[in-house]
């Protein structure tokens, strides 16, 4: 069924466990209500140097007019600047209902995951069930805000049961093994603790590793709890006691609140999704694991193999696309890699109409003009749907994809921006089989590879303009735009070789302006230059497509023509004279522009060389001076 109603989702770091499960909850619940999700994601806050500047291009992607509502997972954005810009855009451009997913600093009705207060239950479990007297707390300095919250609930519970928190009962470490080892030693300075409440599963597993290395038994010597239900914690022995991490339910609740708001109902300012204790073995309880660890071991082995293959594929992809300078070639190469994306049902590469535009500075420097294109269009350059490549097309940018893509579709699309630095190229749209998100971290590297390919193509265009301009400077006369001596020498050999190969005559013309000195003396050198330009235009209009027309210096012009015998040569000179006569009739200048011409032609043989061509120009020069003498005799009687 084709769902015309859409919910927009702003979320960052889509490859994360939290983000993927929140989005999956949103996608599944939205479909139940007849909506599809459009997920706008970025990779802000990673240490990617100046590359990350372009993350803000995500702001250009959404079309708010097509959205019935928006869910903003604001706390997934590591870069506060981007988070604030998305917030500002939502507040100023988005008129539909908005629900936020956040714990703190929210600006819209929010859905919040409460998994800190539950630390009270874990601490109380140690006290009531196991009757432990000395219970420590291992916090996380890298995530101090949330860690401090959990610490406060630990302290509150200890105080409730009239239990003392000693000076060596709380320690904040980072995620390094050495730092957690320091925590263990710190706790043990006042004797071995009976139990430790850890900020999360990751710290709990590090603490367990260090404790086991030191010879302690878990939970016999030191009991442990984690705090966010990771697969690693549930597939070890002893199985880690922890709390649930109901992020899928978080996405479901966000959609339920948003739909209620879309329907005009009031919703709470804050809706809380609460975690629950998961009591297993590391706290001292005896429970049976739900999953045999052999399956998890196999899963980890498969994951490691997948990561290794993804690294190799990314390196291969980078090397393959590195030197691409043609977009069509690059897209054909890219297709091979896109087909390897696991469970990818649809893939679309969409380019803005100005994606390869050149800066005005370069255009001015190269004396170029950018082809005018409509900013209302987007180019669908690569489209893969259900294993088939669709033809490229252009469509109006008010749609994120061509309308026919949406026909009979219930796909949730994930959009990621394409950029390099502050250069915005467009975006990628992805949909997965069965709407089950399968976005892996390797796709981030693939996205970077695509961005670098597009940047290389833009650089090739820019370099091409600069090289062309340099060639013009080297090969062309700056005053007339005709070839200079360098340009003439470059083309002469090509024309001579063709004449010999095709058994065609060549004709050398020498053209000299009449009265240039008089124009300079009486009207100034600017007018003299203008008269030279007029004569250059006359030659350019008379010359054929394959003729070589050049100004070496002053008012003397050379023209080397292919396939002209004497009659055709006279015809070319007549064209030059007619052009000048017509110009003089229309000109309001106080002087006339005229020239004297001479030519010489021959049929070159295989031994004909550039020196022989110079001999032709010498004959043409002799004829030209004879004509110039007649011109002066006629005009100075």
Per residue in 396-430, pLDDT (tens digit) is 888 899 988 988 788 999 999 999 888 899 999 99
Helix 525-542 / helix 566-586 crossing angle, nearest 10 deg: 140
- What confidence category does residue 529 fall into, taking pLDDT thresholds of 50, 70 and 90? very high
Task: Looking at the structure, tell me whether residues 358 and 390 fall in a common domain.
Answer: yes
Is residue 457 located within the same domain as residue 495?
no
Q: Are 515 and 463 found together in one domain?
A: no
Q: Are residues 461 and 503 in the same domain?
A: no
Q: How confident is the model at residue 465 (pLDDT cuts 50, 70, 90)?
A: confident
- In whole angstroms, what is the distance from residue 60 CA to residue 76 CA? 19
Ramachandran class of 162: left when φ > 0, alpha when ψ lies in -120 to 50, beta otherwise: left
Residue 85 in any domain: the answer is no
Q: Which of 10, 13, 44, 9 has its CA nearest to residue 419?
A: 44
533 vs 311, more confident: 533
Count of domains forming the chain = 3
Task: Output b/e per residue, 589-620; b: 16+ Cβ within 10 A.
Answer: eebbbbbbbbbbbbebeeebeeeebeebbebb
Tokens of 20: 């993927």
Sign, Cα dihedral of 87, 91, 93, 96 = positive
23 burial type by CB count under 10 A (0-12 exposed, 13-18 middle, 19+ buried): buried
Looking only at the bridges linking them, the beta strands covering 110-114 and 98-101 are parallel
Measured CA to CA, the distance from residue 264 to residue 266 in angstroms comes to: 7
> 204, 227, 250: which is the final residue of a domain?
227
In a domain, 171, yes or no: yes
Q: 450 and 515 share a domain?
A: no
Do 346 and 384 contact (CB within 8 A), yes or no? Answer: yes
Nearest to 390 by CA among 377, 407, 376, 374: 407
φ, ψ (nearest 5 deg) of residue 481? 80, -5
How far apart, in Å, are the Cα atoms of 318 and each of 251, 406, 451?
A: 35, 32, 11
Residue 603 lies in a domain: yes
DSSP 3-state assignment of 193?
coil
Do 336 and 449 lie in a common domain? Answer: yes
Residues 454 and 490 in one domain: no
Nearest to 382 by CA among 409, 344, 411, 434: 344
Question: What is the rounded average pLDDT of the residues 451-460?
Answer: 90
| pLDDT the model gives residue 133 | 94
On the question of pLDDT at 372 being above 80, the answer is: no
Closest CA to 335 of 402, 379, 387: 387
469 plus 489 within the same structural domain: no
CA separation for the pair 129, 310 (Å, rounded): 47
Mean pLDDT, to the nearest integer, of 515-539?
95
Q: How confident is the model at residue 370 (pLDDT cuts 50, 70, 90)?
A: low
The CA-atom distances, in angstroms, between 504 and each of 177, 286, 397 are 84, 101, 55
550 lies in some domain: yes
Range from 157-166, 318-327, 450-459, 557-566 that averages highest in pLDDT = 157-166
Whether residue 269 is contained in a domain is answered as: no
pLDDT tens sequence across 274-325:
999 999 999 999 877 655 565 566 666 776 666 667 777 778 888 888 888 8
The answer to whether the peptide bond before residue 224 is cis (omega within 30 degrees of 0) is no
Q: What are phi and psi for residue 399, nearest 5 degrees?
A: -105, 135
> Which of 155, 245, 166 lies closest to 202 in space, CA to CA?
245
> DSSP labels for 279-310?
--STTS-----SS-HHHHHHHHHHHHHHHHHH
Residue 6's φ and ψ, nearest 5 degrees, are -125, 145
In a domain, 582, yes or no: yes
Q: Residue 135 has what pLDDT?
A: 97
With a CB cutoff of 8 Å and minimum separation 6, the contacts of 18 are 76, 245, 247
Contacts of 52 (CB under 8 A, 6+ apart): 43, 44, 45, 46, 79
Region 518-546: what's the mean pLDDT? 94
pLDDT(23) > 60: yes
Answer yes or no: is pLDDT of 392 > 70: yes
Q: Among 206-220, 256-270, 375-389, 465-479, whose mean pLDDT is lowest?
A: 465-479
Residues 136 and 184: their CA atoms lie apart, in Å, by 10
pLDDT (tens digit per residue) in 567-611: 889 999 999 999 999 999 999 999 999 999 999 999 999 999 999
Q: Give the Å distances, CA to CA, from 616 to 415, 558, 608.
A: 67, 11, 11
Q: Given a cut of 70, is residue 395 above it in pLDDT?
A: yes
User: Does residue 460 share a domain with residue 347?
Assistant: yes
Phi-psi region of 426 (alpha: psi -120 to 50; beta: other; left: phi over 0): left
> Residue 133's beta-bridge partner residues?
none
Domain end, chosen from 201, 227, 253, is at 227
Q: By residue range, what is the domain housing residue 377?
A: 297-409+445-473
- Same structural domain for residues 304 and 395? yes
For residue 213, the domain's CATH number is: 3.40.50.2300
Please compute, for residue 597, the number of CA atoms within 13 A of its CA located in the half-sphere on the CB side: 22
Tens-place pLDDT, residues 132-148: 999 999 999 988 988 99
| CA-wise closest residue to 566 among 578, 576, 557, 574 | 574
pLDDT at 533 over 90: yes
Looking at the fold, whether 558 and 468 belong to one and the same domain comes out as: no
Tell me which residue of 343, 543, 375, 373 sits closest to 443, measured CA to CA: 343
Pairing of strands 110-114, 270-274: parallel
233 Rama sector, left if φ>0, alpha if ψ -120 to 50, beta otherwise: alpha
pLDDT of residue 595: 95
Predicted confidence at residue 1, as pLDDT, reads 44
Tell me the average pLDDT of the chain. 90
pTM for the model stands at 0.76
User: CA-to-CA distance for 151 and 156, rounded, in angstroms?
Assistant: 9
CA–CA distance, 281 with 325 (Å, rounded to integer): 59
Integer Rg of the chain from CA: 39
Query: Which pLDDT belongs to residue 635?
Result: 74
Res. 2: pLDDT tops 90:
no
Cis peptide bond upstream of 219, omega within 30: yes
HSE-CB at 478 with a 13 A cutoff on CA atoms is 5
Residue percentage of the chain with pLDDT more than 70: 92
Question: Per the structure block, which two tokens stand in for 164?
Answer: 């003392």
For 514, how many CA atoms within 13 A lie in the half-sphere containing its CB?
A: 22
Q: Can you read off the two tokens belonging to residue 298?
A: 């196999």
Residue at 527 is within a domain: yes
**pLDDT at residue 470, as a whole number:** 85
Q: What angle do CA 350, 353, 359 make, to 5 degrees?
A: 125
Q: Is residue 126 domain-resident?
A: yes
Does the pLDDT of residue 373 top 70, yes or no? Answer: no
Based on the fold, state whether residues 575 and 451 are members of the same structural domain.
no
Please write the tens of the pLDDT for every residue from 144-179: 988 999 999 999 999 999 999 999 999 999 999 999
């Amino acid at each position: 069924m084709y769902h015309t109603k859409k919910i927009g989702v702003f979320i960052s770091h889509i490859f994360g466990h939290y983000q993927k499960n929140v989005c999956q909850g949103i996608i599944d619940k939205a479909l139940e209500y007849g909506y599809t999700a459009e997920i706008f994601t970025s990779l802000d806050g990673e240490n990617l140097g100046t590359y990350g500047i372009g993350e803000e291009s995500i702001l250009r992607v959404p079309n708010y007019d097509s959205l019935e509502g928006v869910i903003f997972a604001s706390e997934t954005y590591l870069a506060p600047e981007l988070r604030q810009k998305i917030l500002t855009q939502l507040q100023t451009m988005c008129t539909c209902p908005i629900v936020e997913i956040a714990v703190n600093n929210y600006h819209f009705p929010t859905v919040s995951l409460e998994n800190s207060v539950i630390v009270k239950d874990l601490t109380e479990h140690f006290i009531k069930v196991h009757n432990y007297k000395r219970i420590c707390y291992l916090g996380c300095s890298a995530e101090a805000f949330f860690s401090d919250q959990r610490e406060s609930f630990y302290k509150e519970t200890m105080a409730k049961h009239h239990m003392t928190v000693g000076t060596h009962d709380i320690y904040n470490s980072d995620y390094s093994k050495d730092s957690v080892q320091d925590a263990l030693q710190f706790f043990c300075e006042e004797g071995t603790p009976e139990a430790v409440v850890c900020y999360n599963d990751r710290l709990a597993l590090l603490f367990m590793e260090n404790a086991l290395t030191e010879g302690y038994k878990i939970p016999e010597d030191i009991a442990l709890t984690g705090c966010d239900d990771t697969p690693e914690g549930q597939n070890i022995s002893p199985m880690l006691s922890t709390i649930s991490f109901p992020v899928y339910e978080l996405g479901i609740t966000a959609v339920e609140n948003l739909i209620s708001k879309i329907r005009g109902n009031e919703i709470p300012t804050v809706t809380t999704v609460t975690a629950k204790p998961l009591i297993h073995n590391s706290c001292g309880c005896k429970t049976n694991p739900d999953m045999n660890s052999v399956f998890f071991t196999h899963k980890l082995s498969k994951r490691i193999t997948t990561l290794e293959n993804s690294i190799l594929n990314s390196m291969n992809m980078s090397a393959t696309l590195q030197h691409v300078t043609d977009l069509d070639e690059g897209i054909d190469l890219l297709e091979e890699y896109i087909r390897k994306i696991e469970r990818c049902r649809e893939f679309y590469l969409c380019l803005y109409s100005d994606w390869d535009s050149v800066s005005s500075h370069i255009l001015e420097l190269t004396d170029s003009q950018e082809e005018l294109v409509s900013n209302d269009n987007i180019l669908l350059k690569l489209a893969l749907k259900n294993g088939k490549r669709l033809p490229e097309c252009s469509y109006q940018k008010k749609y994120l994809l061509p309308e026919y893509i949406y026909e009979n579709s219930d796909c949730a699309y994930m959009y990621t921006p394409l950029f390099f630095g502050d250069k915005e190229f467009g975006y990628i749209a992805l949909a997965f089989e069965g709407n089950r998100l399968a976005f892996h971290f390797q796709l981030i590297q693939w996205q970077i590879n695509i961005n670098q390919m597009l940047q290389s193509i833009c650089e090739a265009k820019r370099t091409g303009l600069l090289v062309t301009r340099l060639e013009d400077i080297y090969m062309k006369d700056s005053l007339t735009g005709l070839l200079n001596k360098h340009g003439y020498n470059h083309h002469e050999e090509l024309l001579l070789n063709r004449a010999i190969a095709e058994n065609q005559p060549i004709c050398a013309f020498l053209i000299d302006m009449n009265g240039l000195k008089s124009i300079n003396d009486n009207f100034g050198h600017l007018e003299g230059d203008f008269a030279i330009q007029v004569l250059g235009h006359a030659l350019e209009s008379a010359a054929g497509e394959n003729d070589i027309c050049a100004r070496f210096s002053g008012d003397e012009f050379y023209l080397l023509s292919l396939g002209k015998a004497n009659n055709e040569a006279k015809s070319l000179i007549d064209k030059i004279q007619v052009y000048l006569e017509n110009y003089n009739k229309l000109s309001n200048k106080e002087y006339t522009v005229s020239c004297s011409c001479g030519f010489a032609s021959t049929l070159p043989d295989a031994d004909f060389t550039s020196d022989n061509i110079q001999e032709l120009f010498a004959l043409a020069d002799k004829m030209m001076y004879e004509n110039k003498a007649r011109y002066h005799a006629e005009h100075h009687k």
